[in-house]
Every structure is written in C-alpha cells, then in structure tokens.
C-alpha cells in the first residue's frame, strides 16, 4: 500500500451546497423518526391501545416477565414497520444517492438484521432487570437501574471490540509496518498499553472513513477503517490518532463517564417522578403496569432531548482540547488540516453548520472552526 502524500488529490473541502443538503436531509430524517415515535407512543397511550395490548397478553401468559417481553416485542415490531421507510431513505437510499456507499440492499438488510439480533440479546436482559427493580424497589427503582446502566456500559466497552465488532466487520492485525510501529510508539509515550492495531473492512458498508481507540484494559486497541488507510497518508492518520490520544491523556473518558453517571441518575430520578405523577392521567394505577411503561419512555426521551445540548457543550470542549494536544505532540499542523479536510470530503460533512444546529446536535466543533484554530496555532 502506497501512502505517499500525493497518492490522492482531492478538493480542499466538500461542495458546501451538497454537504449542507445531505446534512439537512439526515437531520430531518432523524427528527421525523423521533416525531413518529412520539406520535406513536402518545397514540397508544391516549387510545388505550397500550392498556388493551397488555391485557390481551395477560390471556396468553400469567408470567409478568414473559408479558413484558411479548408487550415490547409487539410494540417494537410495529415501530420498526412504521419507521422502515425513513430508515431506508436515510440509511440506504440517501447514502447511495450522495455517492457514500456501494452496499447492496441485501447486505444492508443482513447488516441491520445482525444489529437487531445483537440488540435483542443485550436489551432483553436489561429490560427484565429494569422491571425487576421496578417491582422490587418501587419508587426508588431509578437507583439500581442507574447502577446497572453504569456497570453495563463499562462491561460493554470492555467486551465490544472482541465480541461484538467482529460480528459486523473483519479485523486484520497490523502488527508490522512503519505505520503500526509509529502508532504503538505514540501510545507508549502517553502511557497507553495497546493490545494491537487493526484494520477493518469498513468499505463493505460505506465509503466514509473512520478511526478510533476502542476497549478498556486488555481489550484496548486501535481500529483503522480500510477507507482511511487507502485514502489518507500516514502523517494524516497519525494526527487523527494523536487527537484520540489527547482524549486519553487528558482523561476525557473518565470525565465523560462521571458526567454520564450524573446525567443518567438525575434523568432517571426526574423520569421516575414524572412517570408516577402522570400515569393516572392515562388510566393506570401502578408504576409496574406493563401498559404504562411507554409513558416512562416518553419522559426519558424528553429528558434526553433537553439535556443533549448540554452534553454536547462538554463534548465540543473536549474535542477542542484534543485538537490542541494533537498539534502539540505531532508538530504537524499541515497534516492535521489535510486530515480534517480529507475526512470532511469522505464523510460529506457540513463544515460550517448553522450555530443553532451545531449547539443542539453536534458533539464536535464545526470543521471550519477546527481549521481556523489550527491556523491560529500555526501563527
């Protein structure tokens, strides 16, 4: 593989009109999907369908946990059918229309099916444990549920690189070669012990590029998409990874975990209070009524929507700090600028989104702001 600096000649930044159109359509699809979920949930609550469905399932089984799985299984199927047109439009058709994917429809369906199976395997036990806490601890259910979610997120971060990711992509170790050695050396210099450097066939699903550090403890590894390796120079890749090392060195991950714990526990508490206060409005008598649980999901969704901009403020600040760290250790601002512009092209990113859209939805600063910061660093 030749990663010389002149292997690829691309425009400095993507066509702004095309990029904005793509970004706006993706955002519109996401918002429409959220609105559909909101309308669907309100409809089943106000019409009494949720209560009637729970009562009907009670004629099938007397076991409350089996009722729970059947209830959410039925609602999940209905939501999947209703939301499929949007999922197809934004997740398959639009990616092809904007030249970001060559994935076949059959492959897209299979990929989504595997994701559904994994979600069920992971989600079903969590749902059952949540309902156990609801029955066991009453109004204080949010405390053990918060602890469960925290412990699970840590466990998932530890196991995902070795057990889940390989279900979707093929990972090949990059044990030799100049790039792998440089990556390992960079990691060692900041005290990070890697289990390995891997490439994976991201091109099977998209033409976009991505790279990341993944895992905790012994599963910590560098993951490089094949699109990234093929279309970016070694120096560009190293600046991208230097940015990720900045997150590690500046302890952004544990800080985000603490912030996540606080927002999760507070959100669960708020949702628990609102849930118990409003369930009687829909004719439910107890917080353990299975038919009432969609109401709880509405309050959790509302909390998430309202607090997401606050979370993004912290995330954008950490991204700015990681950019600064990448410049400090790489001493190669031109390569970092080139890496950002290449990624913007490959991912058709809107480099200058509207400030309100950036504030509410973006976890990273706008590319234009990141490039401007690099220019200031050079000066």
What are the pLDDT digits (tens) for 261-309? 999 999 999 999 999 999 999 999 999 999 999 999 999 999 999 999 9
Q: Quick one: what percent of the chain has pLDDT higher than 70?
A: 96
Residues 194-214 have pLDDT tens digits of 878 889 999 999 999 888 888
Tell me the average pLDDT of the chain.
90
What is the number of structural domains in the chain? 1
344 within a domain of the structure (yes/no): yes
> Tokens standing for 227?
């699109």
With bands split at pLDDT 50, 70 and 90, how would you rate the model's confidence at 12? low
Q: Please report the pLDDT score of residue 160 as a whole number.
A: 86
What end-to-end distance do the CA atoms of the chain give, in Å?
A: 35
9 within a domain of the structure (yes/no): no
- What residue numbers bound the domain in which 131 lies? 16-378
140 within a domain of the structure (yes/no): yes
The contacts of residue 104 (CB under 8 Å, 6+ apart) are: none
231 pLDDT higher than 50 = yes
100 within a domain of the structure (yes/no): yes
9 pLDDT higher than 60 = no
Give the Cα separation of 362 and 368 in Å (integer). Answer: 13
The contacts of residue 153 (CB under 8 Å, 6+ apart) are: 257, 260
Q: Please report the pLDDT score of residue 200 as a whole number.
A: 92
6 within a domain of the structure (yes/no): no
More confident residue, 218 or 97: 97
With bands split at pLDDT 50, 70 and 90, how would you rate the model's confidence at 100? very high
216 pLDDT higher than 80 = no
5 pLDDT higher than 60 = no
Mean pLDDT of 145-169: 90
Mean pLDDT of 228-248: 90
Q: Which of 39-43, 217-221, 298-302, 365-369 is least confident?
A: 217-221
177 pLDDT higher than 90 = no
Q: Please report the pLDDT score of residue 10 as a whole number.
A: 39
Identify the residue whose tokens are 């009453």. Answer: 138
182 within a domain of the structure (yes/no): yes
124 within a domain of the structure (yes/no): yes
> Tokens standing for 282?
């829909």
Residues 42-94 have pLDDT tens digits of 999 999 999 999 999 999 999 999 999 999 999 999 999 999 999 999 999 99
- The model's pTM is 0.87
165 pLDDT higher than 80 = yes
3 pLDDT higher than 90 = no
3 within a domain of the structure (yes/no): no
Q: Please report the pLDDT score of residue 1 as a whole number.
A: 42
Q: Please report the pLDDT score of residue 220 as a whole number.
A: 80
With bands split at pLDDT 50, 70 and 90, how would you rate the model's confidence at 11? very low
- Three-class SS state of 225: strand
The contacts of residue 208 (CB under 8 Å, 6+ apart) are: 100, 202, 225, 227, 346, 347
Burial of 262 (0-12, 13-18, 19+ CB in 10 A): exposed
């Amino acid at each position: 593989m030749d990663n010389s600096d002149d292997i690829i000649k691309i425009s400095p930044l993507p066509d702004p009109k095309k990029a904005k159109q793509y970004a706006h359509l993706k955002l519109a699809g996401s918002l429409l999907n959220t609105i559909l979920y909101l309308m669907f949930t309100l409809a089943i609550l106000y019409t009494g369908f949720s209560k009637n469905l729970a009562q009907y399932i009670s004629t099938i089984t007397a076991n409350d946990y089996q009722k729970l799985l059947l209830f959410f299984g039925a609602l999940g199927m209905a939501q999947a059918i209703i939301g499929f047109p949007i999922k197809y439009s934004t997740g398959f058709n639009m990616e092809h229309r904007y030249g970001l994917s060559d994935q076949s429809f059959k492959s897209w369906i299979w990929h989504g099916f595997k994701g559904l199976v994994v979600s069920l395997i992971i989600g079903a036990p969590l749902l059952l444990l949540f309902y156990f806490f609801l029955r066991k601890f009453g109004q204080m259910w949010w405390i053990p549920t918060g602890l469960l979610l925290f412990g699970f997120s840590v466990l998932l971060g530890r196991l995902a690189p070795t057990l889940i990711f390989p279900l979707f992509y093929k990972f090949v170790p990059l044990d030799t070669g100049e790039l792998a050695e440089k990556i390992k050396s960079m990691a060692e210099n900041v005290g990070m012990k890697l289990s390995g450097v891997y490439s994976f066939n991201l091109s099977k699903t998209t033409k976009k590029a991505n790279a990341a550090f993944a895992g905790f403890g012994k599963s910590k590894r560098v993951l490089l998409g094949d699109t990234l390796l093929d279309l970016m120079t070694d120096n560009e890749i190293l600046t991208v990874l230097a940015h990720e090392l900045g997150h590690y060195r500046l302890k952004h991950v544990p800080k985000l975990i603490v912030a996540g714990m606080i927002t999760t526990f507070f959100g669960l508490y708020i949702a628990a209070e609102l849930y118990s206060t409003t369930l009687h409005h829909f004719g439910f008598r107890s917080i353990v009524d299975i038919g009432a649980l969609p109401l709880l999901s509405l309050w959790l969704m509302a909390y998430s929507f309202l607090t997401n901009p606050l979370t993004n403020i912290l995330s954008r600040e950490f991204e700015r700090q990681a950019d600064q760290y990448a410049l400090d250790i790489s001493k190669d601002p031109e390569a970092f600028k080139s890496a950002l512009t290449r990624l913007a092209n490959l991912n058709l990113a809107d480099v200058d989104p509207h400030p309100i859209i950036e504030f509410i939805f973006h976890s990273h600063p706008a590319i234009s702001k990141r490039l401007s910061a690099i220019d200031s660093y050079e000066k």
